[in-house]
Amino acid sequence: MKPFFLYCSFVLLFFTSVPQYAQQFAPEGFTPIFNGKDFTGWNIQPDQGAWKIENGVMHCLGRPNVPYVILTEKKYENFELMLEFKMSRRCNSGIMVHQAERGWGRESRIGMELQISDDAGREPSVYSCGAVYNVIPPSQIAVRPAGHWNAYHIILDWPILQIQLNGQLVQDVNLENYPQLKYRLRNGYIGLQNHGSEVEYRNIYIRELPSKEVTWTELFNGKDLKGWTKAGNAEWKVENGVIVATGGSGYLISEEVFDPGYELQVFAGKYENGGNSGVFYNWENETDRGYKTEFFDWGKENKMEYDYVLTQVIHYENESTVILNGNEVQQNAYRTSQPKGRIVMYHSDKDGTLKIAQIRKKPLEPLRPPTQ
């Protein structure tokens, strides 16, 4: 991999000499995303008093109040992020990257959470400070004890993630080598988590890096059902930029026929559920409906915790994988290459209301083995 951090010496000098208030200047090439005075540039709604700013420091009070994650107003794909944090004893929190809209899926499973944890002196684990939460432990424990300031320096240039914590390299990995991470969102908001622990932040700076992600094609325009055909007796309509399905059983069928070799993302939520609403792919007709995956059943965990849950279909000619809210739920291998097919949304008459906020697809690169 490439040498770690050309800015290393400067960063160490910068973070070891800062005063207790936010800096009035940004490192060369970086832009401040916290001004030390207010939440300009951040979305903290709905605000129930869990966050405050005092003496140039952004302070998560650790209260069990929303928002549980505050988000930047801008989305970022590849970037270099520098910040300082100070945590309380037994702290468990994190920096969220590549986040979707608030309430759109479990933040740590569809984007990534870079862990903040009070574990100085312990053995590294997937929950340690510097870990990619629940997947990759840090190479070493470099966090200082609670009550001391720590410096994070993060480079995310897909697929490479490099993290330096207090001047020590703790991550230098190719994310595509990890099946749990390979299809995480690659563009989104940066978030700071409220996980019931006090954490303070200051000197938050970012430098954007060139985009690499293939352009997505939006299959739902947020206004009407252009490009889709209805079948069955369910009622399909668009309300406040969201597809809403109620009533009986019915289909919303794409007019376009798609070749295999795409990733499909659908943010959908079921309410008053009990049926098997979901998405079909490689659909030819109502006799040959291709393959189906059901939308998330809210009854299985934390009912109504999220407004929408992410369903991802990774569809190659000879295999497909379905990922639901960050968890792989289907793996299909085909004896022959798959023909073209449509994408179809289905509403079951046993479900109450089905809401779909986004449907989009992008072409996939050919299958290739992991690289170092």
pLDDT tens, position by position, 177-195: 999 999 999 999 999 999 9
Overall number of domains in the chain: 2
Residues 248 and 201 in one domain: no
Residues 15 and 89 in one domain: yes
pLDDT for the residue numbered 25: 72
Name the pairing type of β-strands 278-283 and 291-294: antiparallel
Does residue 2 belong to any structural domain of this protein?
no
- Domain range for residue 126? 8-208
Given a cut of 50, whether residue 245 has pLDDT beyond it is yes
Q: What is the CATH number of the domain that holds 249?
A: 2.60.120.560
For residue 192, give the nearest of 62, 56, 21 by alpha carbon: 62
pLDDT for the residue numbered 296: 78
Residues 313 and 335 in one domain: yes
pLDDT for the residue numbered 14: 45
pLDDT for the residue numbered 82: 98
Does residue 19 belong to any structural domain of this protein?
yes
Tell me which of 4 and 232 has the higher pLDDT: 232
Given a cut of 60, whether residue 20 has pLDDT beyond it is no
The model's confidence at residue 300, banded by pLDDT at 50, 70 and 90, is low
Over residues 238-252, mean pLDDT: 97
Does residue 1 belong to any structural domain of this protein?
no
Does residue 370 belong to any structural domain of this protein?
no
Residues 175 and 46 in one domain: yes
Pure H helices in the chain: 8-17, 107-110
pLDDT for the residue numbered 19: 40
Given a cut of 80, whether residue 365 has pLDDT beyond it is no
For residue 208, give the nearest of 77, 33, 74, 72 by alpha carbon: 77
Phi-psi region of 29 (alpha: psi -120 to 50; beta: other; left: phi over 0): left
Question: What percentage of the chain reaches a pLDDT higher than 70?
Answer: 90
pLDDT for the residue numbered 335: 82
User: What are the structure tokens assigned to 235, written together?
Assistant: 């009622």
Residues 156 and 135 in one domain: yes
pLDDT tens column, 59-68: 999 999 999 9
Residues 192 and 341 in one domain: no
Residue with tokens 């449509």: 342
Residues 176 and 278 in one domain: no
Tell me which of 317 and 128 has the higher pLDDT: 128
Residues 177 and 54 in one domain: yes
Residue 127 per-residue DSSP state: T
Residues 6+ away with beta carbon under 8 Å from 234 = 245, 246, 247, 248, 249, 250, 251, 347, 349
Residue where a domain terminates, one of 186, 208, 230 = 208
Given a cut of 90, whether residue 366 has pLDDT beyond it is no
Over residues 240-244, mean pLDDT: 98
Residues 161 and 180 in one domain: yes
Does residue 280 belong to any structural domain of this protein?
yes
Residue 177 per-residue DSSP state: G
Does residue 154 belong to any structural domain of this protein?
yes
Residues 245 and 124 in one domain: no
pLDDT for the residue numbered 338: 84
Q: Model-level pTM?
A: 0.90
Q: Which of 65-69, 149-153, 158-162, 298-302 has the lowest mean pLDDT?
A: 298-302
Residue where a domain terminates, one of 208, 228, 261 = 208
Given a cut of 50, whether residue 21 has pLDDT beyond it is no
Residues 20 and 130 in one domain: yes
Does residue 70 belong to any structural domain of this protein?
yes
pLDDT for the residue numbered 304: 45
Residues 67 and 156 in one domain: yes
Does residue 287 belong to any structural domain of this protein?
yes
Given a cut of 80, whether residue 319 has pLDDT beyond it is yes
Tell me which of 19 and 290 has the higher pLDDT: 290
Residue where a domain terminates, one of 166, 181, 208 = 208
- What burial class does residue 253 get, using C-beta atoms within 10 Å of its C-beta: 0-12 exposed, 13-18 middle, 19+ buried? buried
Instruction: Map residue 15 onto helix, strand or coil.
Output: helix
Over residues 29-37, mean pLDDT: 96
